[in-house]
Every structure is written in structure tokens, then in C-alpha cells.
Amino acid sequence: MKNRLPEYRKKHNLSQDKLAEMLNVTRQTIISIEKGKYNPSLPLAIRIARIFHASVEEIFILDEEE
């Protein structure tokens, strides 16, 4: 799944480490999500969206072929 997480994270001046800490996940999880290698669970996607005051759909782009 494609995402705009790096864009939102940088816009809010958050490092991968800080975002991971806020979400209680590892930095590796954030890296994997940003690279599209890992799709977050729905609860995690919602928590990410809330941090950025955005909708899940604004951050995560569903590829209809996936």
C-alpha cells in the first residue's frame, strides 16, 4: 500500500524515532510502513492519522489491485 507518511512526518517535524515512540512501535515498523513493505493494522493506521489530524485515506492510498 502506498502512503504519504514520510510527507506528513516531515511536515510535522517528526523523526522516525519520535513517531515510533508516540505510537509505541519500533523505528523499523515506521521504516517498513514508509517503504510500503508493511501495511499497518487498522488500529495503527487510525492512530497514525490522529497524530497528524488527518484521515486514514489522506495518509494511506489503497491500490485497488492489491
- How much is the pLDDT for 63? 77
- How much is the pLDDT for 66? 52
- How much is the pLDDT for 46? 98
> Greatest CA span in the chain, whole angstroms?
33
Could you tell me the pTM of the whole model? 0.90
- How much is the pLDDT for 35? 97
Which residues are bridge partners to 61 per DSSP? 2
- Looking at domain 2-61, its CATH architecture is Orthogonal Bundle (1.10)
Q: Where are the domains of the chain?
A: 2-61
Q: Which residues of the chain have pLDDT under 70?
A: 64-66
Alpha carbon 1 to its chain centroid, in Å, reads 11
CA 2, 16, 65 angle in degrees (round to 5)? 10
